[in-house]
Amino acid sequence: MADLRRSPLYGRHVDLGAKMAGFGGWEMPIEYAGRGVLAEHSAVRGAVGIFDVSHLGKAEVTGAGAAAFVNACLSNDLGRISAGQAQYTLCCAEDGGVVDDLIAYLFSAERVLLVPNAANNAEVVARLAEAAPAGVSVTDRHTGFGVLAVQGPAAPTLVAALGLPTDGAYMSFVEAEWKGHPVIVCRSGYTGERGYELLPRWDDTPALWDALFAAGEALGASPVGLGARDTLRTEMGYPLHGQDLSREITPVQARSGWAVGWGKERFWGREALLAERAAGAARLLWGLTSTGRAIPRPHMPVTTAGGEPVGEVTSGTFSPTLRQGIGLALLGRGVNEGDTVNVDVRGRPSPMTVVRPPFVQSSPR
């Protein structure tokens, strides 16, 4: 595909018969031949799945005061964690809109590794580089590291089989070695299952991928594409930037205020977000469960039972676990948990129940 970048595992995906498509400027696997979204989803919930998410961005902020600088820019409070821990955070614009959501790896007061979304990496790097004081460097490391997500009940067994550490607390990380090569091992993921995100050097990624599948054969390990990654995260109610968070959807509206250090003196968008929080957001992110066979999809209008417009679906899919349609929607403040609303599914009003995600129980810790 013209102008699309490729992960270091592109050849592996082609060999596995993956359906490839553009995502965030990268040519990535959506699903694999002989498997498909439902089977890949079930592998993660029941055994272990291995994802190539090397398209995710990477940026390093280094130098004296690097962590303090990041903390003054991004929403969450790095003071809540210590070295060796990772944190979900947001890069906001001054009006409170979300430029990106990302993970910050705190190595020390002088080094922070950031993992933004693929499509937003360059903008996050540019914003930080422009604001960086003397002595602090912001370096684009997009192709410095690969990222392999190992997710599911058997993930600890599989990662341990490679001699990598598995006993860390949720959202902690260590700098480990595999066959003499450095690998960052983080207890994290985007599926709701216990899992790990492994960050090898870019050129070491194919060998680590091969080793995971060799060790995982007896565990029922499956490659998992971005299709199942979306159904898994939707079942947990995790937001996807560009749909459930965006420049037009603030963390207050998306119920992501837990990722904001409200007591900090500085972070981008602070004043706008404090004002919105105090006034109350005009709309909020809710979950929807279909009462029939309809499946909600992004941008479908939502109305009350009486036909009054109340919002729009931001994410929607068929839940392989629940065997029903589920979705996330931005709805007006008059909507409450347990209400029945109608989603316009191809011109037909389809009743759905307003709920609070997650839709299924998680076990990430």
Q: What angle do CA 130, 131, 133 make, to 5 degrees?
A: 110
Distance CA 155, CA 50 (A): 9
Distance CA 128, CA 281 (A): 28
Locus of tokens 């931005």: 330
For 191-231, write each residue's pLDDT tens digit: 999 999 999 999 999 999 999 999 999 999 999 999 999 99
Distance CA 312, CA 327 (A): 10
What integer pLDDT is reported at residue 365 of this predicted model? 64
What integer pLDDT is reported at residue 256 of this predicted model? 98
- Return residue ranges of the chain for CATH 2.40.30.110: 236-353
Q: Helix, strand, coil proportions of the chain in percent (round to 5)?
A: 25, 35, 40
- Return residue ranges of the chain for CATH 3.30.70.1400: 57-130
What integer pLDDT is reported at residue 89 of this predicted model? 98
For 220-266, write each residue's pLDDT tens digit: 999 999 999 999 999 999 999 999 999 999 999 999 999 999 999 99
CATH number of 57-130: 3.30.70.1400
What integer pLDDT is reported at residue 199 of this predicted model? 99
Is 60 marked as a binding-site residue?
A: no
For 128-153, write each residue's pLDDT tens digit: 999 999 999 999 999 999 999 999 99
Distance CA 181, CA 65 (A): 29
Q: Are 73 and 79 in contact (CB under 8 A)?
A: no
Q: By C-alpha distance, which of 56, 75, 33, 180 is closest to 116? A: 56
What integer pLDDT is reported at residue 156 of this predicted model? 98
What integer pLDDT is reported at residue 364 of this predicted model? 66
Cβ partners under 8 Å of residue 334, min gap 6: 310
Q: By C-alpha distance, which of 13, 365, 37, 32 is closest to 232? A: 37
Residue 358 DSSP code = P
Please state the CATH superfamily assignment of the domain spanning residues 3-53+144-233 in this structure. Probable tRNA modification gtpase trme; domain 1 (3.30.1360.120)
Partner residues linked to 303 by β-bridges: 309, 342
Residue 361 DSSP code = -
For 291-340, write each residue's pLDDT tens digit: 999 999 999 999 999 999 999 999 999 999 999 999 999 999 999 999 99
The rounded mean pLDDT for the chain is 97
Say whether pTM exceeds 0.85. Answer: yes
% of the chain surpassing 70 pLDDT = 99
Please state the CATH superfamily assignment of the domain spanning residues 236-353 in this structure. Aminomethyltransferase beta-barrel domains (2.40.30.110)
- Which amino acid belongs to residue 43? A
- Return residue ranges of the chain for CATH 3.30.1360.120: 3-53+144-233
